[in-house]
Structure 1
Amino acid sequence: MMTSSDVRGVAPAMAVPLTCFVTVLFALASWGSFTSARFPYLGPILVVGLLIVGTGISARLLRVHGSVVVLLQVLLGTIATGLLVVQHPFPVTGGGRARVVAEMTEAYAAFDPFDLPMSASGVAPYLVPAGAAAVLLADILAVTLRRPPMMGLVVLGVFTVPFSIIGAGGWGGVSWVVFAFTATSFLVMLRLDRAQQLGRWGRRLDEDLPVVPATGPALIGVSAVAIALLAPAWLPSANVALPGLGAGDGDGPLRVINPTVGLYDDLRRQSDQVMVTVTPVYGDTEAPPSYLRVGALTKFTGTEWTSGNRDVPSDQTGVATFEPPMSDETLLGEPTTYQIRASDKFESTWLPVFTHPLEITAKGPWRYDEDTLDFMSTEGRDETVAGQSWRMTAAPVEPTQERLLAAGEPGVGAPPGMTDLPLLPDEIAEIALERTAGQDRPFTQAVALQNWFRHSGEFTYSLERDVGTDGAALVDFLTDNKVGYCQQYATAMAVLARQLGIPARVAFGFLNGDQDEDGAWTFRGRDLHAWPELWFEDIGWVRFEPTPAAADTSEPGYTAGALGNVRNEPQAPVPSTDASAAPAPNRPQREAPETPEATQSDTEESSSGAIWTGLGIAALIGAIALAAPAVIRRRRRTARLAGDAEACWAELGDTAIDLGLPWSGTRSPREEATGLAPHLRDREPMTALQRIVTAVERNRYAERRDIATVGDDVRLVSATLREHADRRARRRASLWPASVFRRPTSPAAAGPAARSERELISS
C-alpha cells in the first residue's frame, strides 16, 4: 500500500504524466488509418511530447507554480514543433511565419481525404502540431488541473479525426488493437491518480483488512473510453469535409478518387488490367463509347483541383432520370443503354458514367450531384464500385459548330462557382489574353487555347515529369518546360478558360475502350485520362482535348476549322512501333534542368540538417533539465555549510534523504541522530554527530541563540554516510538527489518562538 511518503518521490510524480502521454500517443496511432505510415508524424510528436511532459515533471518537482509550468510547456513545445515542422524555432515571427505559410500550403495540397491513404510526410505539418497540442492539453487536464477523467475529452477529439475523414464505416478505421491499448492505458492512469490522492492522506486504518476492488473508477474509465471511441460513429458529420466533398447525411463524408494524387501514379503504371466493362444492350450498339467519366473536379485551390463542396440530398438513391442539359434535344445523339460492370481492381467511390446520362439504375448507397451528374458512394471507402454492375442510358452530345459559335455570354445558366479562381500570378492572365487575341466569342477562345496546346505551343506529352499545378508550376509549364501529361494540360486549359470568364472544370475517367469478341468494350488502367469541359449557354458541358496527339488523343470534330485552320495533328514524336511494347506515351524531347534538382537536393539536406539541429536542441534542453537537480543540490550544500547550525542540520538531513537513510524532518534532533548512528560505526563521526545535535539544540532551545557553525562536523558525518552507503545509493544521490524534490521542513516550532517569548519576559 502506498503511504504518504511514497507519493512525494520522483517515480510517483512521473507516473500519471507518463501514462497520460502514453494514452494520447496510443490514440494518435489511430491517425495511421488514413496515412501511408505512422512514423512521419508520430516520431516528431513523440519527441515534442517527451519534451512537454518532461518539462512538466521537472517543473512540478521543483515546486513551480502551475501557470508557470504550462507557460514553459507551451514555450518549449512550440519551439520544438517549429524546429521539427518548419525548421524554425519561432514560427510566429516574420521568417517563421513565412515558413509556416509555405509548409501549410504544401500540406493542404497533400491533404486529400478522397484518395486514402494520404502521404504521412505530406500532411505532417497538420498532424504534428495537432498531436503536440493534444499531448499538452491532456497533460494540463490530467496533471496540472488534477482532472484525469476529463482527459477522455482529448481522446474523444483525437479519435474524431479519423471518423471525420474516413467516415463511420469500419469504425472510422480505428482498430481494436488501438482501442484496447488506449483503454488500458487510460484505466492505468486513473488508477495511479487515485492511489496518489489516497496516499496523500497517509496510512490507511484498514490496511490489514481484505482489499475490495474499486469498481467505480474502473467503470468510469471504461465508459469514458467507450464513449470517446464510439461517439463519433453516432455524431452527425458536417456537410463539408476538408478539403472538398461533403456528406449528405450523418453517415460520414463521401470519398472520391482525386486524380491530383492518384492519377499520375496510375498513368505511369500503364496497367493492362481491365477496370470497367461496358456492354451495349440496345440503341446505337455499333458506335464505340469513349470518354467514360468517373468524376469532375470543380474547385481550384491554387495548388490543386478538388471536387469542391457538393450538395447531395439525403433522399436521393442510385436510381435517377435526368432531363437533357439543353432545350434543343436535336443536339443529342441516339440514346444507348449500357450494362456496366467494374472489376474487383477498380476501387472507386465514384460511379463511372458517360458525360450526359439520361437514366441510371445502380444498387447500393449511391447519390448524385444534380449540377455535375456525378454519382458518389455514401459509405466512403467501405462501399466502392469494385465488382458491382449498373445500367445506364446515355446520349452523346453532338453540338454543331454553328451552334457553339452562336453561344451567348459565357456563364449563362452555368452552375455557380465555375469561374472562381484564387489569386494567381499575373503571367497566367496575360497568357490567356495573348493566346486568344482577336477572338471575341467564348467558343473560338476555347478552340484557340486547345490549338495552342496541341499545335502551335510546342508542347510535349510525357509521363516522365510531374510538374505540379500551383501558380508558379503552372507558369513554368506554360512558358518554359512545356512538358507534361494529361492532367497538366486539362488543368492548365481549365485555369486559362476561367481567366477568360468561361465556366470550366476538369473531368477524369477513361479515354477509349477496346472491343472484345462478345462486343463488349473494356476500359483498362492505361486508358485513364483527364480532360477539360467548358460550359456554353443552352448546350451544357462540352469536352475539349488539349493533350497533344502523341498521347493517342484526338480533338473533337466540332472544333476543327473553327478558326479557319485545317484540321491536322501536330508534328510530334510518335511512340515506338515495337509490337512487343505496351502502349505508352512519348518521352520528352529534352532533359529536365539540373538546377532545380540540385536545389531540391540542397533543400532536402538543409531541412534534414535543421531537423537534426532541432532534435539536438531538444536533447540539450532535456539534458539541462536532468542535470538541474544535481546543480541545485551542490549550490545548496555550499551555502548551507557556510551558515549556522540550523542550516548545517538541514544539509545533514538532505544528505540522509539523498542516500535513502531514515530521516523524517519532523522528529527531534536526538531522535534523528539515533536513526543515523548505526550508519556511522566509527567513533570520530559519532562524536561529530553529537556536537552537531548539541549545537542545534542550543540554537533552538537556549535562552540566547548559538551562532556557532558546525560545517566541518557535517562534512565529516556526510562523508562517512556516503562511504558506508552502497554504490547505487551514492550514484542516485549524485545524479538525481531526492532532497531537491522534497518540500523543506521547518525547525521545531517550539524553538525560536519559545526563545523569543523568554527573551521578551526576561527583558
Structure 2
Amino acid sequence: MSLERAWRDPVIAFVLTTAAIAGWWTTFDGLAWLVVGAAGAAVGTVVVLLHARLGSLVWAFVSVPVAYLLLGIVVLGVDFTGGSLRGTTFTRVLTGAWESWRLLVGTHPPVEATGTVLLAPAMAGLLVAAQATAFTRAGSRPGWPLAPILGLLAWVLVTGSHLTSSGTWSRILFGGVFGLACLAWVVLRAGRTGSPTDSPASARWVLAAPVLVVSTLLAVPLGGSLLGDGEQRLVLREQTAAYAVDLVGTPLDSFRRFRKQSGDLPDNAWRTQLLRATSAPDGTVLRFTVLDRYDGRRWVAANDVEPGSHDDRFQLFGADYLTTPDETGTTPIRIDLTGAWNSQWLPLAGRLVGLNTDFPGGVPVSSLRFNPVTSTAIATRTLGGNDEYEFFAEFPDPTLPDHAEASRLVDRPTYDAAEFLDNWAEVARRGTSSRMEAVLKAASMMRARGRYSDGAFGWEVQFARGQDEARLDDFMNGPHMVGDDEQYAAAMALVATRLRVPARVVVGARVPADGIVKGNDVVAWVELRIADGTWHELPRSAYMSFRSPRRNDPENDPVAAEPDTSPTATSRPSPSPSPSPQPDQDHSDQQDRAEQSSGSWRWLLWLLVPVAVGAVPGYKLLRRARRRRASRVSVRYVGAWQELIDRARDLGLPVPAHRSRPAQAVALGTFALPLARTADDAVFGPATPSIDEADSYWGSVLEVRAGLGPDVPAWRRWLAPFSPASLRQG
C-alpha cells in the first residue's frame, strides 16, 4: 500500500462521515451536535489507524467501544471535584446508546443539543468512521468503505425531519454533491486496484461505468423513499414515538366532577380550587385540552389529525419552545396546580410561545409531550399538588368572523362516526346557502329543543353522563334533549363535521379576577375551522340551552328530513379528501466540478487532531463574537453575563443553571453582584443603554472572567477551554 493511499482514504472517510452527520442540520438546534459528531468521527478514525499501524486491527472491536465510553463521559460531562467517577455516569453512557435515539425521534425539531441526545451523533460518527477506515485498510473492494457511510446517511435521513425552507439545498447536497463525492472516491480507489500494466484511467473507469449505471438505477426507488419530495420521504419520527394520548382520560370524560353532584363524592371539584393563574392578562381563557377526533365512544386528542402537517403529534418539546423571560422580553403566566386537579393535562392559554426554563422547581420538561398544531400539552404522569410551571403565549382573536367560509379539511374518521346525525345535517342544509350557515341553523335548532341538566338530583338522574354514540343519539334524536356541556359540545361538533365544517371540542375555563380557577368555572365549547386554516369559537349561547328541564315538558318531534323537490336541491356530498402534497418545484441543473488533487495527502491526516481538539474552543470563540455583536444592545449585556457563567461552568464552579443573575452572582462571589445588577438594569430598565456602555460592560466582564476560580487547579484551568460543560448548559 502506497503512503499516499494510507493517509488519503482515512481522511476521505472522516470527511464523508461528518458530511453524512450534517444531514441532521434541520433536526438539531445550534452546532454542538455537529461538533460532537465530528469529534466522534475523528476519534474513530484515529483509533483504527493506530491499531492498523500496530498490526492489531482485530483489537479495534474492543478499543472502539471503550472509546465510545470515554467520549460519552466527555459529552455528558463529569464532575471531577469528588476525585472519582460515579457509577451512574457509566450507566448514563451505556443506556444512552439506545436512549439517545428514542429522544431524537421523539422530540419536535429542532432538538435541543444537550444531554443524552448528543450521544447519537457521537456514536454515529465514531462507529461509522471506524468501520469505513477499517475497510480502507483491510478490504480489497473499492466500494466497501462506502457501505457504512451510505448506511449512516440513510439512517440520518430516516431519524431526521422533513425539510422546509432549506429543502432544495439539502436535496442538492445529499442527492448531488454527496453522491458525486462518493462515486469519485470509489473511482479513485478502483484505479489503484488495477495491475501495474493497466492504465490508471482505464482501470478507474472500467469499474466507474457500471457503478454509475447501478447508482442511477437505485437512485430512483431509494431516493423516493429516503430523499423523496414532501410527504413521500420516510421519516421515523412521523411513524413512531408519539405519546398515546388517545388512551388518556380527558376533562370532558369527567366533566360532571366539575359540577354539583349529590352525595359526598371524593372527586367532586364543584367549589374546589383547581389551580391559581398569576400574571394572566384580563379575560384569559385557559385551554385544558383540545379534542379533535371522535372514535364513536368519546372525543379524544389524537396524533396525525392535521392534513399535510408533520408536527401534529404529542412529542417532547423542541428547542424553539424552551426559552426564558430575558429572551422573550415578556412576563410569563404562572400556573400553580392543586391536588384537586388530578389530571395529566397541562392547562395553557392561547398559542404557546414557550416554557420558562428559568423557573425553578417546575414540572420537568422531560415529562411533558406537546402538540404544536393544537398548542396543547400533556404529562406522562398525573399532575396535581405542588406542580407549577410558567409559560409564554400569544392570544389570537377567537371570535368567529361574520360570513366566514368553512375549511374543507374535514377529519374523515370523525365524519364517518357522525353518520347517525345525518337527519340533523339534512334538515340544517335546507334553505341555507353555505355550510357555515347550515351549522348556525343546526345550532339554533339545538338551543330551541334543548334543556340543561347535570343529572345530579331527583328525577333528573335519568339524564346520564357520557358522549358515546348511544348517549348522543338519545340526546339528539330522543324525546327530550337534556344534557350539560359534555353532550352539547360533543353533539354540536359532530353535526358540524357531518355538514363538512371541521370542528373540535375544547375544555377550559376563563380565569377569574383573583386568578383562582374552581371546578364550577370549567366549561366545554366548540371551535370551527374557517377557510384560512384558523380555528374560531362557536359561541356556546348559539347552540346550548340553559333552561332547566321540567317533568311536564312536551316531547320533541323527531328531526326528520322531508324530500326536497326544489330545483336547487343537491345530494349530500362526501367530505373533501385531505389535500395531497404539492409536487416540488423543478430543480435547476447543477454544473459538476472536479478538482485534481496533487501532492501528498499525509499532512491532511494531522488535521484530524486539531479538528478534534480545537472544535470546542473554536465554537466558543464564535459564540462569544456572536454574543458581543448582537443586534439589540440589551442582548449584548445578557451575552456578556452568560460568557462569565459559561467560564465558571467550564472551571467546574457550582453555578445554579436556572436562577436569576443576582443569585448566580452570589454563587460566584460578591465581586460579581455589581455586574449582575448592571445587566438587569440594562435588560429591565426604562432606558436603552448605548453601544459604548455595552462595550465597557464587556470589558469589565472579561476582566472578571480572567480572574475566576483562583483556587482551581492549574490543570483544570488549562482544560477549561476544551470543556463541553458550557455547551451542554449554556
Q: Give the structure with higher Rg (CA).
A: 1
- Range into which the TM-score falls when normalised by the shorter chain: 0.3 to 0.5
TM-score normalised over the length of structure 1: 0.36
TM-score normalised over the length of structure 2: 0.38
